[in-house]
Amino acid sequence: MLAAWFAIALSSAAPSLVSEQRLSLDVKDAQVTNVLRLLADQAHVNLVVSERVTGRITLKLQRVAWQDALDAILQHKDLAIEKNGNVWLIDTAEAVEARVKSKAARAEAAEKSGTLRTVLIPVNHARAEDLQVLVRPLLTSRGTISVDARTNTLIVTDVDTATRRVGQTLGR
């Protein structure tokens, strides 16, 4: 038997942000996927729930923040969220962790095998030597950064993603 009562109370003074929405939820023996869909509908969140998310849930929440309600369900069912743009993917914590590790490994492999390129970044209104210290952490292990003091230019050699990251940080 499924019994559900859902109410959202928004303060008229507060902006209608998802994290500020207060809700009350009373659900008995409901499919966890249906409860997640209900929360997503009320908050206008795009949600994809994995087929690995199964089971039933009973809960009674009174005037809690929307995010707190979601976090409670995720924690209770050992689930996790992976945000992909404006879509939230909900899966088992184990599956999300495996995907995150896999993405990191692929990114690291691409970084290690990427072609190195050299970019010259002229610096105005600052000393290139000072900026060299600030942007060094943005480089990969293969990257180098040096300074041409005569022209006040940074010389950055690294894979494409790292050189773009340095350029964006310096406003180029």
The predicted pLDDT at position 172 comes to 74
For residue 49, list its beta bridge partners: 90
pTM score, whole prediction: 0.60
Using the predicted structure, report yes or no on whether residue 9 has a pLDDT greater than 50.
Answer: no
Residues 17, 18, 20, 21, CA torsion sign: positive
Question: DSSP 3-state assignment of 149?
Answer: coil
Residue 68: other Cβ atoms inside 10 A: 13
Q: Assign domain 112-169 to its CATH architecture.
A: 2-Layer Sandwich (3.30)
Domain map (residue ranges) of the chain: 3-96, 112-169
List pLDDT tens digits, range 105-163.
Answer: 888 887 778 889 999 999 999 999 999 999 999 998 889 999 999 999 999 999 988 99
For 79, the token pair is: 């689930």
Quick check: 120 and 153 in contact, CB under 8 A?
Answer: yes
Task: Identify the residue with better confidence: 122 or 12.
Answer: 122
**CA 104 – CA 96 distance, rounded (Å):** 12
Q: Could you tell me which CATH number the domain at 3-96 has?
A: 3.55.50.30
